[in-house]
Each structure stands twice: as C-alpha cells, then as structure tokens.
Structure 1
Amino acid sequence: MRLLLFVLLAALSAPAGLPVAPLAGAAMAQEAPAAPDYPQWEKDAALAEQVLEQDRASNQALEQLRQRIVDWRARFAAVQSANQQRIETLRSQIAALGAAPAEGQSEAPEIAARRSELNGQLAKLEAPGIAAVEAHSRAEGIIREIDTLIRDRQADALLKLSPSPVNPINWPAGAAVLTQGLKTLWSETVGAWNNPARRTELRNNLPVIILYIAIAGILVLRAPGFIGNMTARLQRSSSMRTRALAATILSLGQVVVPVLGVLLLVMATKATGMTGLRSGELIGALPEAAAAFFLARWLGASVFTGGTTAPIVVERPAEARFHASMLGVAAALEVMRVAFATDVRPPLSQAAQSVWAFPVAVLVAVFLFRLGHLIRRREGTLDTDERAFGARIQKLFGTALVAASVVSPLLGVVGYVAAANALIWPALGTLALVGLVIVLHRFLTDIYLVVSRSGEEGREALVPVLLGFVLALTALPALALIWGARTADLWEAWNRFRGGIVLGETRISPTSFLTLVAVFVMGYLATRLVQGALKYSVLPRTNLDKGVQNALAAGVGYVGIFLAALVSITAAGLDLSSLAIVAGALSVGIGFGLQNIVQNFVSGIILLIERPISEGDMIEVNGQFGIVKGISVRSTWIETFDRTDVIVPNGDLVAGVVTNLTRGNLTGRLILKAGVAYGSDTRRVEAILKEIANAQPLVLVDPAPAVIFTDLGADSLNFEVRAILSDVNFKNVVLSEMNHEIVRRFAEEGIEIPFVQRDIWIRNPEALRGEARAAAAPAPATPAEPAARRTPDPRLIHNDPSEDDPDR
C-alpha cells in the first residue's frame, strides 16, 4: 500500500516536470556533446568490474554504481551521433568520385588525391563515434551484470527459508519485540514528562493542542459521513448535467479531509513535546496509515456500488465494501507495524521477523479470500458479448485473488515468510490499482459525456473504450513496481523502447514511427482537401461528364495517398532498401493469395479510365439489373429496382458481359404485346394502337412507332407495338399508361380482348346416366352416404351426338 501511495504521488507530480526534458534535450541538440573523459571512464569501469567480481557490495551500493555507469552510457550514446551530418556529406562526396579503382588499376591523380583527402577527413570524424560505440558496449555489459546480480539476490531472499511463525518455539522472540517496544515507548514518555522543559512546552502549547485535537476530531469522525451524504444526494440529483463529475470530486473529500485531520492530530502530539525516537516514528506513520485505510474504504464504496451497471458486479455489494474497508485496516496495521519495528536495537532475529510479520499477512489473506469469492460470482444477465467478456475477466481476477490468499499463508506456515509477503501484499496492491483505474476511467468517461453532450448510451462509444485501454497501458509500470520491479528496470525498458527495433539496416524508434504517422496523416488530409476542392468546386464547372469528373477525383486521391506514404517514409528517415529482397520474396506469396483483390483493383482503374460504365447508368450484369450508384477501386455498387444494393467485383464488369442501357444516351425501345378476339377488324386495331403510341410524350416521332400483326394465336390475334422512348428510365411508366389506354379504347370500340377457354368432352355419357338412375332408386337410409356415390347433377352432363365418332 505504501508503494501504491508513492506511485500515485509520483504520477500526480510528473506533469509538472515534463516540459523540462524536451527543453533540455533541445538545448543539448543545438550544442555538440563534449568528448567523454575516457581515462576516468576506464577507472570507473575497472572499479565496477572489480566490485562485480568480488560480489561483496550491498544492493544499495550496486544501485549507486549502476547509476554512475548509466550516466557514462548516456554520454557515449550522445557522442555516437556526433558529426553525423558531416559524415553523411563526406560519404556522398566520396560516392560522387565514383568507385575506387580495382587492384592493379589507377585513376587520375587529381581524383586519387581528392579521394585520399576525403577518406582522411571521414576517418577523423568517425573516430570519436567508433570509440563511443566501443565504450557504450562495455557500459551495457556492466549494467546487465549488475542487474543480473541484484535479481539473483532478490530471488535468493524470496526463497530463503525462515523459522516457521506457527512454531511455538519462535513465539517468545516475537513477543519480546512487542514487550521491548512498549517498554521503550513508556520510558520515552516518562522521561519526557519528568523533564521540566517538556512540561513547560506542553503548558504553553496547550490551547493550540486542544484546537488541533478538536478540529482533527471533526475532520476524522464527522466529515467523512457528511461528505458521503452530500455525494449521495448529488448523485440522485437530476438538475445538474455534471452531477457525476461533481459527485466524484466531492467524494475524494472522504480521503483527503480525514487524512488532514490525522495530520493535525500528529501536529498536536508533536506540540506536546512528549515524543521520543520510537514514539516519533510511530506517530509520524499515522498519516500514511490513515491514507491507506480511507483510500481503501473510498475505493470499495466507488467500485462496489451495486447493480448491473457497477464497475465490478458482485452479489453482495455491502459485504464487498466491508471487506474492502477491513483490508484498509490491515494495510494501516502493516504501516504501523513497520514503523514500530524501525531502528530496533539489536536488529530483529529471523524468528522475530517471521512471527512479527505473519499475523497481519494472514489477516489480509482472510479478507482478500472472501472478497475474491464475491468478485468471482457475478450476478446479472450477460446479454451482450461485452458483458460476457467482462464477466470472464472479473472471474479470472477474483480467482487470482483467491489463489493468492490461499497460497500466501501456506508459504508462511512452511517458513517462506518473505515469499508469502511478496505474494499477498502485491495482490492487495493490484486490487487497489485496479480500483483506481476503474474510478479514473469512469471520471474521464463522465468528462467525455459532458463534452460530447451525450447520454448514458455514450458510455458504450469508442472513446471510453480507448480511454480504458490507455489507462490500462499507463498502469502497467505501476503494476510492475507493485510486484517488485526496480525503478531502474523500468527506465531500462523505457530506454530500449525509445531505441526501437532494427529491421535490416534501419532502426525504427517510436520517434520515427510517430513522425511517419504524423506526416502521413497530414498528407492524407491535404489529399482529401484537394480532392474535395476538385470534386465539388473545380470539376463541376467544366464540360466534363460525371464519369470523367469522378475518375479524375479518384486518381488524384490515389496519387496523393501514394505521395503521402513516400514523403512520410522519407521524413522518418527509414531506409527500406535492405528490405527489398524480403519484400520481393513476400510479394510472390502475397500475389497468389491476393490475386483476386489485385485483379479487381486493376479492373477498377480500367473502369475509371475507359469509363465503359458511369454512375447513373442502367446496366445488367450477372443477371443483376439496376442503376450504378458508385465505382470504387475494388467493386461497383449497383442499386436494383427492388431498392437492394448489389456489390459487383470490378473483375466481373471488365471480363464479363455487361449490358449498358443508357450508355451515350437515354433512348431505348419499348415492345408492348396486345391480343384481340377472332373476328375483330385488324386494320382498325392497328390504327388504334398507333394512335395510342403516338399520343405518348416520351415516344419519339423519328423513328415513328410501328404496329406489327405478329401471328394468329390459338386464342387471339396478336399485335406488337414497337416504339423508341426518349428516356428508357421511364419504360415501365409508359408501358403502364399505354396498357390503360388500350383497355379504354378497345372497350369504346367494342373490340374484345380474349382470354384462354377450354371445352370439356365426356366420352361415355351413357355410363354416367346409368349411375344416375341407380342412385335415384329408393335405398335404405344410412347415417352418411359416401361422397363418391352421390347423384351427379344432370346439368353438368354434356351429351354430344358425335361421341361415337372415332375422329372426335
């Protein structure tokens, strides 16, 4: 918990110091780095290697020695890049002279002299860098050796077997620590009281002491409950849009205000003048212990709020809050225990250390075990994948807490007390860190909701998710510190991250990557700006048709993105020439895997250049009939007359058969079929159909519509009206209007529109009449007569006198 508080204070104080580093870096970049003192470096390196070989120095001494070597390494790294621009210029000059002559060949004396002079200058400029590279490598090796030695010592300390704290033989040693400590406190208090000067100081400061104690009592005992009630009332308020933000900020008073009260209590105690060395250490630890307790209680109240929308959903939120508070009590007891055992003379024995540290660890394990069980058992419906994923993570986290709370006491019972403490306290710190991340994420999400003016549904947006991801990454260093990582390890990892990775002869660092991304984004935005200006301002004022305008705008976009990629790679200083062979090998496999995509891409470029189809054309391809709504590089978007969208790969449009009904013009032919009954005046029918076709405004006069008497059908005399429309898009409208007019005119003229008729001939009517007479005879009444024996209706029987004619 103390480490967690230190991390929080460091995180809060970090922004104030951030601007200093870039300014210092800029100042150093303007000045050439001073040459390192290599004789002094040789002494320090030899001393470090001797210390490592003897392996007698303490960890603190090794850390100080490591820091000195790290400073040397930073100087060598700065010298490595010195004169880099001048070196590149000299190399370019040498390359401009051409290739050096082969053995046995000669070149012009002037060129040879100039080449020798430039090579001399180059060697002189490269010498400091080469020496710095060698020294940098040596410093790297020493630092790695120191880190390895410290890690080995830490591992040995964790696996050290101590006297078992449950063995009664070791209990007197632990009891002696408590007894001796209490005696020391009593003797310090008695000695201070017997000192007349201390009593005089107490009487003089008595009003201030009483005032401090009164204010401290109010701040510690009354203020947290008052602030909690105010926070709950503010959360229930619906009149403020920023109530969630205000409630979170106000709830922090439940931690800050009581700690201030404890600080006043410490000041009151020190103002009495009755404190000694041991009591001063113990009283000085009270603010830290109070901060641990009130922080744990605040986190429990903020995280275990109850309901399905709580950050951590548990079945019994009240019980979870109670166990969180009890863990805070245990953390406060650990702070006071460490302060009580500080500067004990003589130092505590291993048995005393085991017995003295084990009870508090067991207390933490008990409450952490129950809280882990509550976290594992999540209530509520898992109606979405996101909630199901959150439930799995929560169950996994709860299981880890339960496992730590079970394994840690077992290790302590066996005698691995250091390992037990190294497991249970980091587990508690991890729980506190997770709670802090959850609360901070909710606070930042509330800020986003206020800024974006969105409701509670905004919590499911992309920005809150990204905020959670960034917070999780930011918490990783703190998590590493909680679990025993050294600050030097984190700085070493950060330096390696800043150094980047090497691909071929190119080093890709975070700085170069950010430069690449920033330049590409700016180029992309500039390309979109130019593309938009062409598409909506310049090209519409030209005589180019819509297809050419879209093709030019798309071409500008592709060229701009390609140039933006080239410029960004150049600005980042990436040399990808060494990757050409690898890229060539990969291109073969990628070509086979992406051949359809490449085919569609090339087909899209062909469509944009040749423009066999354009937006707004009515086409038919692969049985799909509709209007082209958009042409991209990979596919074409067609909207059918059913108002459905069909995505057609561009390869099908280039390699397949496409019918374009509106290419070049909108004219198209309409064919209408009509039939009349036999006996109608065909010439009159032809004239009526011509009148109807000529009356349509979309039917062209030239060529004039034609009416063709096509055939003598089985049921009708068939005609066709063939007309050319000025806009084929209205083909169905004209067809409907002409059909309406045909029905009306044929009805006025008395022309019958036939329909299919069929005659039914019965081959044996006498058999049916015999069955009818038999059915008409009297018969006994039955409950129900089968339907197949009912008498047929004589009106349905058709008697044909020619039924016996074999030709019929």
Structure 2
Amino acid sequence: MSSELRRSTLPSRFFWLLRVWLCAVMLLMPIGASAQDADTSTDISSFVLTKEGAPDYLAWSRVAERGERVLEIGRASDQALSELRSEIAQWRGLFKSAQDENSIRIDTLKTQLATLGPEPEDLGSELAVLAQRRKELNAELSKAQAPVKEAEESYARADFLVREIDSMLRTRQTDQLFKLGPTPLNPAAWSTAFAALKKTFATAASETRNAWGSDAQRRDLQADLPVTIALLVIGLVLLTQSRGWLIRLGGRLRQMRKGPSRGVVGFVISLGQVIAPMLGLSAFLIALNLAGVLGLRGQAIADALPAAGLLFFVALWIGTRVFGAEASHASLYLPSSVLRAEARINVTLLGLLLGILVVLRQVGAAEAYSESTVVVLAFPVLVGASVLLVRMGRLLRRHLGAQDSGNHSAFRTRVISGIGRVCEAVGFVSPIAAAVGYTAFAEALLLPTILTLAVLAVLEILNVFVKAVYATVIRADDEIADQALFPVIVSFCLLLAALPLLALIWGARATDLAELWAQFLNGFQMGSTRITPRAFLVFAIIFVGGYAATRALQATLRSSILPKTNLDKGGQNAIAVGTGYVGLFLAAVIAITGAGIDLSSVAIIAGALSVGIGFGLQTIVSNFVSGIILLIERPISEGDWIEVNGQMGYVRDISVRATRIETFDRSDVILPNSDLVSGVVTNYTRGNSIGRVIIPVGVAYGTDTRCVETILREIAEAHPMVTVNPSPAVIFQGFGADSLDFEIRAILSDVNFMLSVKSEINHEIARRFVEEGIEIPFAQRDIWLRNPEALSGGATTPKADLADVPAQNLTRDSFTVEDMNGEGEGDE
C-alpha cells in the first residue's frame, strides 16, 4: 500500500478529528491543522445544464459510465474514488431537485382527469367528447411526467454508484485495518528506527544553528526583537503559571459564593486552564516563527505541537474536573484522595502519550519513515497507553462501579463497571496485537477507546454543569436539580450531538454521516406520501399550536364563561372536557392536512388493524364510551356521595376512562366508567342533599312502650338537622330476643351529616333514658348443662341433684355448679 494511503488510514484521522472538535469546544482556532479529508467538493458549475435549465443527461451518462468503469477495474486510489463520489453525489442532488419539476402541472392534470371520473371498461360506452378530452389529458400528463421519470431513473443510477463507491472504500479501510505488518519486536528494526529518529532531531538542530548564524536572519530578528521577546515571555508565563493562577482564582471565587452557583463559577474558570496554556503555546510558536530559527524538520515538529499540547492540557482539565482533589468537586466519586490522585495522573499521562504519538506521526509523515520504523517508534507509546488504560479500567470497575445505590443508580453502576471491563480488555488486547504485527488494528482499537472515554468524560462534566446552572436559575439545591427533568433532556441532547463525533472516532467517514443525514432529510415513504422531517416539523408546530389554543379555550370556559351559566358543576365539566377532545381532534386533522400527509392509502391497513386493536382494547373502549355517556347524561356529578360495588365516597373527578371517588377514610378509589353505567349505583345526593337516617333503639322488656315512643320523638324533633315536614317517625318494630325494638326514622336537611346526627341523637337517648330510668338491656341467654359431671373432674353428679341448681344463677357471663360434696366451683 502506498504511503499516501497509509497517511489516510483510520488512526491518522483520529488525531485530526479530536484536534478540530476540542479546538471548537475550547473556542480556539486549530493551529497547523491539516485535514486529510476523503471527499473533495465539486463546484456546481461542473454540471452541464441544457438551455431550459434541466440536467444534461448526455453529460451525466458519460460520468456514470466512467464511474462504472472505475468500479469495475478497482485500481483507483482512495483520493480519486472520493473525488468521483463527490461529483456523482452532486449529480444525484441535482436529479433529486429535478424530480419536483412540473409538479404543479402534473397535479393539475391529475385533478382534471379525476373530474372526468374513472375510465369505463367499455371504451365505446363513453361520450366521444369525454373520451377525446381524456385522451388529450393523458397525453399531456405523460409529456409532463417524462422529465420526472428520467430524473428518477438517473437518481437511482447515481445513488447506486455512490453506494458502490462507499462499499469499496469501506472494504479497503477494513483490509488496511487487518493488514499484517512488521512486528515491533524484531531487533533488526530497532537500530534503524532509532537512527532515523536521531537523524531527524540532529537535522532539525543543524537547521536551527544554520538559520541562527545567517546574517539575514539576524537582521530580521533584530527588526522583530521586541515583539518576539514579548511573545516569548507571554508564552512562557502562560505555559508555566496560568494554570496555577486560575486554580487559585477559582478557589477564591467559589468561597465567595454559596450553593450550586459555586459549580457554575468553577466550571467557567476551569475552561481557562485549557485556553490560557494553549494561548501561551501559540504565542511561543509564533515567537519562534518570527525568530526564524526553525528549519524544515523543526517546523514539522512545531506544527504537531499545538495538537499535542491540546491533548495534554485537555487531559489535565478532564482529570481535574472528573477526579477533583476534593470529593465535593469531583464529577465521579472515588473513596479516597489517593485514588483520585492516581486517576488524575493516569488521565494526564494518557493525554501526554497521545500527544507524543501525534508528534511521531507528524514527523514520520514529513520524513517519510518506513513502515517498520513507524511501528517500532509507536510501540512503546501504545504499550504505555494500554497500561494506563488497564489501570483506569480497574479504577472504574473496582471503585466507581462498586458503589451502592446511595451514591449511584443501579444503571449507572452497571454502565461504569461495563466501561471499566472494556478498558481492561482493550488494554490487554492492543499491545498483543501490535506485537504480532497488527499495529493498525491495535491503534484502531486503543485510540478510539481512549478518545471515547474523553468524550464521555466531557459529557459527564457538562451534565454536572447543566445541573448546576439549572439549580442556580431556579434557586434550588442540588437534590432538586438531580430529580428535575430539564437537565436530563439537555444532557440527552448533548449525548445525541456527540454521536456523530463518536461515529467518526470509530472509523465512520464524513461522507457516511452525510449520507445518513441525506436519508434522514429524504424521509420515508408511507403509502403515497413521503414523511420528511419538514412535514413532521410542520405537523408538530400546527398540532402544538392547536393544542395550546384548545387548552386556552378550556381555561376560558372554566374560569369566565361557564361559571356565569346555570349549569351545575358536572355540566360545566362535561362541556369543558368535550371542547378539549373536539379541539384536539381538529388540531390533529388540520396538522395532518397542513403537513401534506395523505393517509387515504393506509386506510385499508388501518381498518385491518382496528379489528385487532378493537379486541385488545375493548375494555378501554367500553370505558371511554361509558365516560362520554356519563358526561352527557350526568347521572353523577363531582361532589356527589355515591356507593357502587361496595365502595362509598364522594366523586372527585370524572374522566373519559375512569371516575375517581374519595372514600371517608381519605383514600382515592378509581372506578372504571363501565361499572358506573352498567352496574348499580346509589347516589345519596343526586339533585339535593336531603336524605333519611334510621336509628335503631332497644329497651328492656317491661318498659312502657308509649313513654319510650314519646321520648324518642321529642329527641328527634329537637335536633336542628331533622326536617319538620316530613316530621320524624318512631316505629315500634317488634319484640326482639333480648329487647323491645324501636326505630327513629327522620329526614335530614343534609344527608352528608348522617353520622354526626346519629352520634348526637344516640348521646341524647342515653342521657334521657338514664333520667327516666329506662334500661337498655344486654343480650340474655339460658344455659343448660348436659354433662355436669365433666366440670367436677370426672365425679358423677346425679341428674336429680342438678335440678336443685337455681336457674336464675345461670347468667350470661357466668354460672356456679356445686357438686355433691360441695368442693368446687367452675366458671364459663
């Protein structure tokens, strides 16, 4: 494989991707960034258009034939394939636009044909005028659709070629990834590799000495000496001192603030720990360029330093933010300061090794090192990075992944433990693969894993920052922010935004992502309608607007209009709820129409599905229909006291599926509406709150019944809740087993106070009966003993002697039996 192809392999692009992304995050301009992009854009002017502005299909045919030949031969370089793909992709975009040509004319002709009705099976049965007109319209429609059909055919051909080129590039990438190269363990290659590296630095030093000794260079240096010295001083100060200054500044500012705002201030100040050193490094390199002391080799090394420095300083920042010196300042929890310090050191060294690898790759490309030399020089770096990755994996698995649910959720614990295991596995496999000779595979496995950990760490840091900002804005504590939904949504959006970067890190090409985005924008076909993101966005906007308008109308009805009518509360609620359902239905219909979605083609499928859904959801549908009946007929209303299926309480809410009642013990019971429609419901307060109370009373035998009746009537009539008309009644029910049974039957003005009225009347009955000397008896029982000898320990008691026991001594609570010898007494 050529050196050009090796420089465009997957691991080489990782460093460029990381450099560009992190520079954008830190608001820095990438210095010396060289993107080896596989796609080279083709200007739109390269397309050949006809005078009418349509694509020149003859020119496209030549391009397509050239692409087919290139794919058939399969010898073109990656760069040539990428350029060809870019050209064909832009042709494809032109054909996509051409498919919308004559759309208005085509729709008009179809409408005209529809007005003529369906074409009859018997051609002779139609009027000659209509047949002639139908023939003319069909001819015009075919003519209008011809360019569209040609564009569709060309689009399909271009899309096939693009996919074939992508497949070939991915195949080459896979072959390069699993290519067996020279092993770094070959001692014969060590001397050559170290000699090449030594020669590079020796040549760079020689070029610097020669440039320093040049008279022209000295004059240039003297002319720019003040600026050069100022930049050198600024660069050295920022590189050596700025991070410590910012750490102390952040500590002081955090001490001056309280609550979640401390985290916001700490995050903002911490960004300077990357920005300030990078500015210092940039100033230092600019000063060296002004001094003109760098030769070709020195310039190649200097061009790699910004990316290497960015990796190092970002690793420092990630280690400090994720594993802070203080547990309260760390995004991830570690139980001791020693473990946190170890984690920070591991992260920093990983960044340093990646920076060294970037410099080696840049210098190797500039010096055209042999493949064996690059492998030997990169192997120690890969081994060191693998060891550090294993150490980080063990920290994550043993300490972060082993925390209980008090510090981390179960899902978070499993994820962290899983990440730790993956890091350990990659750390063990990568150096073995590199030692065998699969260096490209080892780098493609190790480097993306490290960069993925960096991306996940940045996402964790941003997650903590978002929670702190949210808590600061709403002036809440951290616990409330942890339970809030808004920070979760923001963090999820950040994760989605990071997915393209993760795809690029793991080997996806920019053209692959562009292709996915194009397919996403193209939407999907549903019947005769294509659902695109634009159509979905229009649908969402119209529906949300209709939903908001419906809720506003419901609020206006409930607060301003309905209270001024004579409708009861249940009727007002029925109108408001019905308005809501009608509004939502209209909003959905208008949104579907506005988005241009034609669902007529899926009506048959929807009809078939409705049968199965009807069987599965028949209970829900039954409750829904019952809820509509309840809202229309209103046999019960909110606030009614009802009893259904043994459940008694007040109706608190009536919805279309279920009704909520509040029982007297303050618990909520959800009743399906079908039970209220098809079952037996007792409504104690329907229409009015008048109801009857029945109070049973028992007196001892021998009591004057007329006196009892008079007393009970006086007590009932004296209570303020008992109505005068109809007046209360006292009923002598009959002769009970233990008492003479009476009942007070009274009508209450408000049946909701039934229990309190019962209690007050019973208190008054007890007081009056005591005053009148009327006894309220307890239950009376006569007990006859069939085997009295069992009570005397087996002694026989003649039956004749048992007759001598007085019957009045055998009461309800106890009885006494004396045996023949008069020795014992038994109780029951």
TM-score by length of 1: 0.89
3-state SS, counterpart of residue 105 of structure 1: helix
- Say if 1:413 and 1:771 are closer, same or farther in 2 by CA, change over 3 A: closer
From 214, 221, 226, the counterpart of 1:195: 214
8 Å Cα contact 1:224-1:258 kept in structure 2 = yes
Per the TM alignment, residue 403 of structure 1 is displaced from its structure 2 partner at its CA by: 1.4
User: Which residue of structure 2 aligns with residue 275 of structure 1?
Assistant: 294
Aligned counterpart, 2:76: 57
Per the alignment, do residues 533 and 169 of structure 1 end up closer, same or farther by CA in structure 2, a change over 3 Å counting?
A: same
Deviates more, 1:3-12 or 1:731-740: 3-12
Cα-to-partner distance string for 1:371-429 (whole Å, 9 max, x where unaligned): 12111122574236962111110111111122112111111111111111111111111
What residue in structure 1 maps to residue 800 of structure 2?
A: none
SS of the residue aligned with 1:252? helix
In the other structure, the counterpart of 1:20 is none
Distance 1:771 1:174 in 2: 115
Distance change in 2, residues 1:46/1:9 (3 Å)? farther
Q: CA deviation at 1:699?
A: 2.0
Corresponding position: 1:441 with 2:460: no
Equivalent position of 1:284 in the other structure: 303
Rounded to whole Å, the distance in 2 between the matches of 1:767 and 1:411 is 96
Name the count of aligned residue pairs.
761
Secondary structure in 1 matching 2:636 = coil
Q: Which residue of 2 aligns with 1:776?
A: none
The question of whether the paired residues in 2 share the 8 Å contact of 1:378 and 1:391 is answered with no
Question: Which position in structure 2 is the counterpart of 1:406?
Answer: 428
- Indicate conservation of the 8 Å contact 2:300/2:366, yes or no: no
Greater CA deviation, 654-663 or 96-105? 96-105
- Partners of 1:107 and 1:311 in 2: how far apart? 80
Unaligned runs of 5+ in 1: 15-31, 773-794, 804-808
- Distance change in 2, residues 1:440/1:34 (3 Å): farther
Instruction: Give the structure 2 partner of residue 579 of structure 1.
Output: 602
The equivalent of 2:392 in structure 1 is 371
Q: CA deviation at 1:312?
A: 2.9
Q: Which residue of 1 aligns with 2:12?
A: none
Is it true that 1:652 corresponds to 2:652 in the alignment? no
Confirm whether residue 598 of structure 1 aligns to residue 621 of structure 2. yes
Work out which of the residue numbers 102, 122, 133 in structure 1 matches 2:152. Answer: 133
Q: Is residue 312–residue 375 contact of structure 1 (8 Å, CA) maintained in 2? A: no
Provide the rounded CA distance (Å) in 2 between the counterparts of 1:747 and 1:515: 82
- 1:568-647 paired onto structure 2 within 5 Å: 568-647=591-670
Residues 1:551 and 2:565 are matched in the alignment:
no
Deviations 1:303-358 (A, max 9, x none): 123648843334511100001110111122112212322332xx332322321322
Give the Cα separation in 1 of the matches to 2:62 and 2:491.
49
Residue 720 and residue 2 in structure 1: after superposition, are their counterparts in 2 closer, same or farther (change >3 A)?
same
Equivalent position amino acid for 1:406 in 2: F
Specify every segment of 5 or more residues in structure 2 that has no aligned partner in the other structure, as ranges: 1-14, 29-50, 796-813, 823-828
Indicate the SS of the match to 2:677.
helix
Matched, 1:80 2:99: yes
Cα distance in 2 for partners of 1:575, 1:324 equals 55
Q: Which residue number in structure 1 is paired with residue 477 of structure 2?
A: 455
- Residue 747 of structure 2 is aligned to residue 724 of structure 1: yes
In structure 2, how many angstroms separate the alpha carbons of the residues matched to 1:33 and 1:9? 46
Question: Map of 1:8-157 to 2, 5 A cutoff?
Answer: 8-9=22-23, 34-157=53-176
Contact 2:462 2:491 in 1 (8 A): no
Amino acid in the other structure paired with 1:389:
F
Q: 1:153/1:97 Cα in 2 relative to 1: closer, same or farther (>3 Å)?
A: same
Which residue does the alignment assign to 1:351?
372
| Matched-pair contact (CA < 8 Å) for 2:703–2:774 | yes
- Contact 1:619–1:627 at 8 Å: present in 2 too? yes
The CA deviation at 1:771 is 13
Distance 1:189 1:654, change over 3 A: same
1:687-726 matches, cutoff 5 A:
687-726=710-749
What is residue 423 of structure 1 aligned with on the other side? 445
Equivalents in 1 of 2:792, 2:427: separation in Å?
A: 101
- For each residue in 1:173-225, what CA deviation from the matched residue of structure 2 results, as whole angstroms up to 9, or x when unmatched? 31232133133213322332342212333344444333322222211111111
Contact 1:527 1:557 in 2 (8 A): yes
Query: For the structure 1 residues 719 and 212, does the alpha-carbon distance in structure 2 shift closer, same or farther, using more than 3 Å as the test?
Result: same
**Is the 8 Å Cα contact of residues 466 and 491 (structure 2) preserved in structure 1?**
no
Deviations 1:41-73 (CA, angstroms, capped at 9, x unpaired): 222222222222222221112111111111111
Deviation at 1:296, TM superposition (A): 0.6
1:759 positional shift = 7.0
Q: Which of 6, 17, 23 pairs up with 1:3?
A: 17
Cα distance in 2 between the residues matched to 1:431 and 1:706:
86
Question: Is it true that 1:432 corresponds to 2:454 in the alignment?
Answer: yes
Residues 769 and 593 of structure 1: CA distance in aligned 2, closer, same or farther (over 3 Å): closer
CA contact (8 A) 2:201 2:297 kept: no
DSSP-derived class of the 2:399 partner: coil
Whether the 8 Å CA contact 2:26–2:274 is kept in 1: the answer is no
Task: Assess, with a 3 A threshold, how the Cα gap between structure 1 residues 540 and 768 changes in structure 2: closer, same or farther.
Answer: closer
Report the equivalent of 2:189: 170
Q: What is the CA–CA distance in structure 1 between the aligned matches of 2:172 and 2:665, rounded to whole Å?
A: 76
Equivalent position of 1:311 in the other structure: 331
How far residue 623 of structure 1 moved from its aligned partner, in angstroms, is: 0.9
Contact 2:26 2:275 (C-alpha < 8 Å) held by counterparts = no
Deviation, structure 1 residue 469: 1.4
Question: After superposition, what is the alpha-carbon deviation per residue over 1:608-638, rounded to whole angstroms, capped at 9, x for unaligned?
Answer: 2222222222211111111111111111111
- Residue 467 of structure 1: how far off its partner (Å): 1.7
C-alpha separation in 2, matches of 1:663 and 1:207: 96
Superposition deviation, residue 449 in structure 1: 1.7
Query: Using a 3 Å threshold, how does the CA distance of structure 1 residues 191 and 613 change in structure 2: closer, same or farther?
Result: same
Letter in 2 for 1:6: V
Tell me how far apart the structure 1 counterparts of residues 531 and 303 of structure 2 sit (CA, whole Å): 50
Task: Rate the CA distance shift 1:535–1:186 in 2: closer, same or farther, 3 A.
Answer: closer
Report the 3-state secondary structure (helix = DSSP H, G, I; strand = E; otherwise coil) of the residue aligned with 1:341: helix
Indicate the RMSD between aligned Cα atoms, in angstroms: 2.9
Higher mean C-alpha displacement, 282-291 vs 158-167:
282-291
Instruction: Provide the secondary structure at the position in 1 that maps to 2:124.
Output: coil
Q: Does 1:513 align with 2:536?
A: yes
Structure 1 residue 572: Cα displacement: 1.9
Contact in 1 for aligned 2:550/2:583 (Cα 8 Å): yes
CA contact (8 A) 2:321 2:329 kept: no
- Does the 8 A contact of 1:314 with 1:375 survive in 2? no
Q: In 2, are the aligned partners of 1:765 and 1:799 still within 8 Å (CA)?
A: no
Q: Percent identity?
A: 50
Cα deviations by residue, 1:251-280 (Å, 9 ceiling, x for unpaired)? 111111111111121122122222211111
Q: Is the 8 A contact 1:629 1:638 kept in 2?
A: yes
Distance 1:685-1:502 versus aligned 2 partners, 3 A rule:
same
- Verify: 1:670 aligned to 2:693, yes or no: yes
Q: Distance in 1 between matches of 2:772 and 2:403?
A: 74
* Bigger Cα displacement from structure 2, 84-93 vs 642-651: 84-93
Corresponding residue for residue 204 of structure 2: 185
- 1:81 is displaced (CA, Å) by 1.4
Which one-letter code corresponds to 2:581 in the other structure? Y
Cα distance between partner residues in 1 of 2:452 and 2:607: 48
- Are the counterparts in 1 of residues 468 and 478 from structure 2 also a CA contact under 8 Å? no
Match of 2:501 in 1: 478
Deviates more, 1:634-643 or 1:436-445: 436-445
CA distance in 2, matches of 1:635, 1:712: 47
Aligned to 2:418: 396
Q: 1:745 to 1:190 in 2, by over 3 A?
A: closer
- Aligned partner of 1:188: which letter? E
Q: Tell me the distance in 2 between the aligned counterparts of 1:397 and 1:382.
A: 17
Separation in structure 2 between the aligned mates of residue 446 and residue 86 of structure 1, nearest angstrom: 57
**2:635 & 2:299 partners in 1: Cα distance?**
91
Counterpart in the other structure of 1:295: 314
